[in-house]
Structure 1
């Protein structure tokens, strides 16, 4: 009888192991990173930082070049390492000269241009500033589209202030032209501002084109400031984000570029752990 029980348990464990191996990865996008993650080391050693990025198995970055090298030099360094630059960031002020941004994006080989901040005084983001942003996004986004580039606004938390029957983020999404304006969800800032990443993905579908994969420390209660101490940015899977459901829904709406971003000052330790977490997620 003991032998029967032993072999039954052995068979069960073997079956569970085989089934686990059959499960497909939930996170199927190419591993990518937002280069702001390496803001502390990139300016000191651009080639070395790109070598580090490559060593992590990362094949895509979101970035805009690096200090001390031209855009052409930076692009060649990335090409030499098999790293693509599908998205590049710009300031709000650069929306006023979209033609220059188009040239910059094409030099880097980027098909997306993202803006991550709408200027406002202190922590008081107003509906007037949201309305002006809608106007500027529609204007620049049209020119970008005419040049084969998709513009995306990256939320930062302060847009989740209540407005009418929703939030200012709802207002911005609903009043921008879907032909010209898309969005990049930053998961940490969405949660920090009181938004629900899964619900927003479901609500606005393919308006979301890009994602910043970033986690907010457990126990932290956010606000509408768009700011939080660096130590509140933690290893993926250890914070507040529901990554299995976020990634499932992001896959459904068609997000293709997921940029890991770590704004802590412990990025050299955190990023490899975050990548291992993403690898562990199964369908």
Structure 2
């Protein structure tokens, strides 16, 4: 009898095994990358935002203004109770129009300015990585000092060329100033070149502030090109990425914003499937 009472008290005062097993791995609502709906946004920005909002998503990462001014886009977001937390731009804009980039990001209400591609010819080299580090430190400092914004780099696969005991991606992370330069982990463009996103998250922790949630079709063997047909983007949980391990590592690392990105032509079916998969992860 005493044994049964003790067991009962333990169940009352600590999480049960059942509760632990049913705990959600991904309790938050994901955001959305505008590129997922790029074809729809080109035709009608307002209607596309309505479509995304109907999915329960209110956090956006825009990498295109789709013919609007930043103020016009912000107004459409505000009217729908939506927000833009990250603003993606191209490398030339950072090099040549950084004050305009900063002002647009502030107008949109973004906290982050993100770039996803470093221009280079052929294989990414150590010299290219050294220039990238110098540029990133400069971009990040100016965006932080002048606009209070955080600069993020989104990996695209080519940065994982071998270098010493690691890769050129390691070199970039280790030689950029954590005060001014953070990272957005695109998990497809981590797995495609043969890397482990969970291991990177464990290694660099809160250097990763943002994440693109994607999955890579089973059977696809990647490379360091930074490119694969868009049809190889599949619904979350149906591809080859160990999303449970990735999301557990991301939660531990303290990733701030997660965005679904699906480059495929099948977003009408795949995006709802991905959202349902995230909700059901226990």
Q: What residue in structure 2 maps to residue 228 of structure 1?
A: 228
Structure 2 distance, partners of 1:54, 1:31, is 12
Q: What residue in structure 2 maps to residue 141 of structure 1?
A: 140
Q: What residue in structure 2 maps to residue 270 of structure 1?
A: 270
Structure 1 distance, partners of 2:35, 2:279, is 22
Task: Map Cα deviations across residues 128-148 of structure 1 (whole Å, 9 max, x no partner).
Answer: 111111000000100112121
Task: Map Cα deviations across residues 168-201 of structure 1 (whole Å, 9 max, x no partner).
Answer: 1011101111111100000000001111001000
Q: Matched residue of 1:88: which SS?
A: strand
Q: What residue in structure 2 maps to residue 7 of structure 1?
A: none
Structure 1 distance, partners of 2:239, 2:101, is 35
Q: What residue in structure 1 maps to residue 256 of structure 2?
A: 256
Q: In 2 relative to 1, CA 65–226 (structure 1 residues): closer, same or farther, beyond 3 Å? A: closer
Normalized against structure 1, the TM-score is what? 0.90
CA RMSD of aligned residues (A): 1.6
Q: What residue in structure 2 maps to residue 155 of structure 1?
A: 155
Task: Map Cα deviations across residues 205-238 of structure 1 (whole Å, 9 max, x no partner).
Answer: 1100000001111111100000001111000001
Q: What residue in structure 1 maps to residue 107 of structure 2?
A: 107
Is the CA contact 1:43–1:66 (under 8 Å) kept in the aligned structure 2?
no
Task: Map Cα deviations across residues 17-62 of structure 1 (whole Å, 9 max, x no partner).
Answer: x947983321122321001000111111111100000000001010
Q: Matched residue of 1:113: which SS?
A: strand
User: How many equivalent residue pairs?
Assistant: 264
Unaligned residue ranges in structure 2 (runs of 5+): 1-16
Q: What residue in structure 1 maps to residue 128 of structure 2?
A: 129
Q: Matched residue of 1:41: which SS?
A: helix
Q: Matched residue of 2:24: which SS?
A: coil
Is the CA contact 1:192–1:223 (under 8 Å) kept in the aligned structure 2?
yes
State how 1:207-246 maps to structure 2 within 5 Å. Answer: 207-246=207-246
Q: What residue in structure 1 maps to residue 53 of structure 2?
A: 54
Normalized against structure 2, the TM-score is what? 0.90
Is the CA contact 1:201–1:249 (under 8 Å) kept in the aligned structure 2?
yes
Q: In 2 relative to 1, CA 166–65 (structure 1 residues): closer, same or farther, beyond 3 Å? A: closer
Per-residue deviation at 1:64?
4.0
